[in-house]
Structure formats: structure tokens, C-alpha cells
Structure 1
């Protein structure tokens, strides 16, 4: 039995790929029951993200859809749409990243579904919202990174060339925002009894994210300096090479910077007008970072980490992605562990990073095969066996994965 703070909350997940599944994964992690509706083709993420042991069960799909149940309906068929509405009438939250016009065609927009259930919280994640000149345009993470200024933030460090963050940062950020907004709406519903129609536009969220970080001196009118946090955007803002590897270091406060100067045997730099204060180091970021790079090349990573820890200078070793699997801290706190998936066999399981006073949330459970829970979900929505058989005969209910072999 789930015991998280969202235990008893039922969520209908009409989303796919990453942004919506991030939101519903967070809800499942905290105890919500998440019913994932998929088309006959299945969530595109089942096929994306590299190899798999079986068709339709990619590693990325496993990680983004832990603890969810899957029902597969062909919503182009009227009988399937009617069944979908029966399910929606019995849940607390609906999450979708279907474009608004398609939501209306399917009858799953906020107006249609809240008419069935006034207490429903309907969360629509869109690329560009429903107002303004970009409304309704299709969007993926890289599209949003480009238009929101994320890609442009690489210009100073990449010889004037824009670059995407090599992970789906817009999807992750906006998925977390959506989960947060749903939590706010559930709280208000407890006080008012009313549902909510939530809109989470990715462009607006990521543009706000970039502007909060990088407008800086341009916040003032007229501007008092160039756009962008020069420390963050510097070409030297990267892991620093040591004699045998890399160290990730950030010494921002005066105490940290002065400790760093002691660590590298240059205590006189504490009074150097270029480096003595936060403002001085900000004005002389290039020189400050060059100094760091030159100093750290003289010792090994292990040697530097001992010195920095003694002087309370924030520093950690550089990790590869594969290295995370063996990170002693992640192992100790249960963030990575070996597990057995019921259909995929031995896998690495990612734990819940956040906790309440009772501790971390328990594991959310395995990710589902396409359509594996359809009959159970329909019965819970009040359909009897005859009605379910009719959906099968009509081709509206799909119970087995029809997927291409990679």
C-alpha cells in the first residue's frame, strides 16, 4: 500500500515522451496512482533513447514511467473516447501535453473534463500556451531551448556558436513546474472543494528561467552592464584539470575564495585588488578562472580534494555518467540500486531524491508494458465484462504491444 503524501490521489496521464511523464513520475513517486493512457503505437519514448531488451521498453521509458499503470485505447474510435471519459470522471488529476486543438477534438480539454467532474484538476503542458502569436505551435525540448535563449547562453563559451544543453532540460524543468502547480491546486482544492484548469507553457517558463539568470545588468533601464552572468557564461566555467583528472570547484564568497588562495599557496591574493572581494572577482572573472586552472594542474584530484575539504572550499570530483552508478554517496542513500524488473530483468533502479519527515518515498514500482492494466482500469471505471469485450471487438482496447523490433 502506498503511504506517500499523495496516496489516494488518482492521476490520468495523457502525456507522452518527457515533459508530461516527468510531472506524473513525481506524482507517482509521492504515492499517487498514475494511469497512463497510450495510443496503439505506444508512447514514442518506448522506442527512443537507444537499445532495449524487448521492443517498446527502452531504458528511458523505464526511467520516466516507473510506478505507472498502462491502458491502451484507440481514441479515434468513439467507443474508446467514451471509455476515456468514464476513466477521467473518476480521477483527481489529468495531465496532458497534447496540443490544445487536439485536446478539444478528443474531448479531453479542461472545459470538457471539468464538466464531468468539477473537482478535477486539469493540467495542460503546452509549447507556447493558448494566447499570443506562437500559440498552438508544435514544440520539442530543443525547439524551446533555442527560442527561449538557453542555446544562446552558450555563445560566450562556444566561440559564438549556440548550443543545446545535452539533456532535455526544458522538458525536465517544465515537468517539475507542472508537478508543483498540481500540488498547489490540490492544496487549494482541499480548502475550496473546487477543481482547477492549469496551463504550463514551456516557452514562457524557460524564457523566465533564462531571464532570471542572465538579464543581470540589463534588468536596469538603461542597462548598467552587458547581459549575462559572466561567471557562468565564461569559457573557463567548467571542470578544472588536475594532474590526473578534474575537480569541480566553486569559490564564490570571500571566505571561500580566501580559503582557495591559502590552498594553492598564494595567501597574498587575499589583498590583491583584482581578487579581494566578490565584486572584484566578478569584474576580473577571466583572470580569476585562469589562476584557478593554472594552480590545479600541479596536484592530483585526490590531493586537491583533501586540501579543499580542510579549508571548507566547495569542491567535488568530476563524475562521468557511468560513474554515477558507482558513486558511494548515491549508493549509500539509495539513489541507485540493482533491481529486478518483472519483464525486463536486471536493471539499475533510480530512487526518490527528496524526503518528508518520514523519510524518502518508497520505490514507485516498475514501468508497465503497453496496455497491461487496461482491463483492470476499465473495471475500476465501472465497465462490465460485456462492455470491455465490446471494446476489444471494436479494436478500441489494445491489450498487447504491437511494436517494431529495433
Structure 2
């Protein structure tokens, strides 16, 4: 086996849920040794299962923490804090969640002996919201992800899949590597990453575009970002997104509703009768399979793609042909590494650590 580029690097992660464990997973894929510090009952995700599922118990935890070691500690006990401090002192990088993913009783001060410490906060270390803790929905709203979704009179609509946590985890991993590399001497490096900035910087385009339009005098009180959006076919869902007037014109021609072809702007800005449009085009999609709908739309140069689930995504041709999904040690199928290095392939990961009677192994 070829040792990864981070072979010999020691990482300690102090955080539950997704962000910090995902950062640890990215570093583990590159060959780093990663040790989790968990509360006595274990990371909350150990007990997470999709609604109505028993087979998937802990599946997200196993994905995020594959190949890591773990220590379950009670920080209220002197020996627990001493063990945590010792692990951090021997680490090259320590990742600490101080938001809702924090490990109770284990703060960043336990990592003072580490060379590089990266703290994850919801809104940064300074400013009026520095002491606030926020849910994924609140962070998305603060970063602008919620504003172009749904209708003004309706409830807030977040992006699904807790993408903000994965964005924050990616920035954490990069910050940890940058902090370690920037140590010109033995001076400690301390970095703060905040979830709100990570989310904003990941999707800045839409917010900047909207701000530019407002500056030019276009007042946007309602906005339908994706038209026509998700459509139900014979065997599933397809997403269709007309980004330009030409896309819309071509789609109207394809669906046999030419009377809507010159109404792209009013439909895009929720000023037209979208319900009448949907009523006219739903039968076309309902009589078509997902594969055919995507193929026909793309033949007309209209952006379209299948809406997949965890069960169907591995069979999507681009994923299947690239071998993106890979078998996991527990028999499940996991997304593969989000990067490929020619000379040092991502390291195959072993199983996630188990928790027995409050101890990990």
C-alpha cells in the first residue's frame, strides 16, 4: 500500500455530528492518523438512523469516521481531561467544534499543547454574534442560502442534506493543513473557522448576483431560482433548470406550450401563472421515464438531471463510470474520496471505532 501524503501526521478531532468528523475524514483519506475524542455515550451520530430504518443505524457515523481511532472521555473527571490533554499535546493538528457539535465539557483550552488548533464557531470569534450558537437553518439563512428558495409568504426552505456542515468541514481540513504548513518554527498556530463564512463563501455567486441587480435598480421581492424545477416522471423525479431565456424557449417548444415561450422573465420572477404552466406540462413528464426525460431535455440543450436517492445515486451513469461509490468495510456503499492523486491514491479506510460500555475500541 502506498502511504498517503499525510502519512505520519497526527490529528485529534473534538466534535460530534458532521463538520469536524468530515474534516477528519478528509485528512484520514490522505493518510493522517485521526483520533476522535467522544463523550462517554459516544458521538450523537452513533445513535442516528433515518426515519423508519433499522438497517441504517449509525450509517452516517460509520461513513464519517471510517478508519479512525477513538477515545470516550468524561471531562468532569481529572483523568479524562488529562488523557484529552495528552492526546492533543502529541497531535500535529487538533480540530475543535465549539458550536452545537461541541463535545460537552471539552473546550479548546484542552488542546493548548498542540502545534495547530483549529476552532469551529458558528459566527466567528468577534463581532455581535460571536457568542451565539445556531442551527444549520439559521446559519444557512445568515449566509444567504435561504433567501432565494420558497415563497415570501411561506416557511423558510433550507438546502437539504446539511450541506453547510460539509462546507465547514472542508474549510476546517484546509485550515488544519495550512496551519501546520505555516509553522516556520515551534510557535503554536491558532485558527478560527466559522460556519457562516464557510457557507457564504461556498455559494457566494447567487448572493453577489442579487446584490448587483439591486444596485442596478432591480427590486427583487419574489424570485423563483429554478424553473420549472423538480418534475415527477413515470419512475421518479427529474430536475429541469432553465438558466436562460433560450433554455426556456426551447423547453416550451419541447413541451408543446409555445404560448409561454416569451414569458421567461415574468415566470422567473414569480409574476406569471406558474400553476397554469405546470398543469399544462405535468402530463408530458408523467408519461415519460426519468432517463428519457433527461435525454430529450439535454438533446434540446435544456439542463436536466435525475433526482437521485441514496439507493439510486450509485447507479447514475457518471458516478458508476467513474467508480465514485466504493464498498465500505461494513458492507455499505460510501461516496469515494472527493479528490484523486495520481501517485498517492486515497488510502482505503477501515471500519469506524465501536463503543462498548462507554469505551471505544
In the superposition, the TM-score normalised over structure 1's length comes to: 0.70
- Secondary structure of the 2:169 match is helix
Q: What is the correspondence of 1:359-398 to structure 2 with a 5 Å cutoff?
A: 361-370=346-355
Structure 2: distance between partners of 1:107 and 1:168: 24
Larger Rg: 1
Structure 2: distance between partners of 1:257 and 1:59: 41
Q: What is the correspondence of 1:249-398 to structure 2 with a 5 Å cutoff?
A: 249-252=240-243, 260=251, 263=254, 274=263, 294-295=280-281, 297-298=283-284, 300-301=288-289, 302-341=291-330, 346-358=331-343, 361-370=346-355
| Superposed CA offset, 1:120-147 (max 9, x none) | 2211111232222322333332343455
Gaps of 5+ in 2: none
Residue 155 (structure 2) aligns with = 161
Structure 1: distance between partners of 2:316 and 2:335: 13
Aligned residue pairs, count: 355
Structure 2: distance between partners of 1:295 and 1:363: 47
Judged with a 3 Å threshold, the aligned counterparts in structure 2 of structure 1 residues 282 and 85 are, in CA distance, closer, same or farther, namely same
TM-fit CA distance, 1:229: 8.8
Q: Within the alignment, does 1:200 sit opposite 2:193 as a pair?
A: yes
Query: Is the 1:296–1:304 contact (alpha carbons within 8 Å) kept by the matching residues of 2?
Result: no
TM-fit CA distance, 1:96: 0.7
Q: What is the correspondence of 1:142-153 to structure 2 with a 5 Å cutoff?
A: 142-153=137-148
Residue 23 (structure 2) aligns with = 23
Which structure shows the bigger proportion of residues in helix conformation?
1
TM-fit CA distance, 1:304: 3.3
- Secondary structure of the 2:117 match is strand
Judged with a 3 Å threshold, the aligned counterparts in structure 2 of structure 1 residues 267 and 363 are, in CA distance, closer, same or farther, namely farther
TM-fit CA distance, 1:88: 1.4
Gaps of 5+ in 1: 373-397, 402-406
Judged with a 3 Å threshold, the aligned counterparts in structure 2 of structure 1 residues 244 and 286 are, in CA distance, closer, same or farther, namely farther
Judged with a 3 Å threshold, the aligned counterparts in structure 2 of structure 1 residues 84 and 216 are, in CA distance, closer, same or farther, namely same
Residue 87 (structure 1) aligns with = 87
Q: What is the correspondence of 1:124-203 to structure 2 with a 5 Å cutoff?
A: 124-156=119-151, 159-189=153-183, 195-203=188-196
CA RMSD of the aligned region, Å?
4.1
Q: What is the correspondence of 1:92-103 to structure 2 with a 5 Å cutoff?
A: 92-98=92-98
In the superposition, the TM-score normalised over structure 2's length comes to: 0.78
Query: Is the 2:66–2:352 contact (alpha carbons within 8 Å) kept by the matching residues of 1?
Result: yes
Structure 1: distance between partners of 2:98 and 2:6: 24
Structure 2: distance between partners of 1:213 and 1:228: 15
TM-fit CA distance, 1:195: 4.6
- Secondary structure of the 1:171 match is helix
Query: Is the 2:337–2:346 contact (alpha carbons within 8 Å) kept by the matching residues of 1?
Result: yes
Structure 1: distance between partners of 2:327 and 2:262: 53
| Superposed CA offset, 1:209-251 (max 9, x none) | 566523534347756223489342x6x4521244665432234
TM-fit CA distance, 1:2: 5.8
TM-fit CA distance, 1:61: 1.2
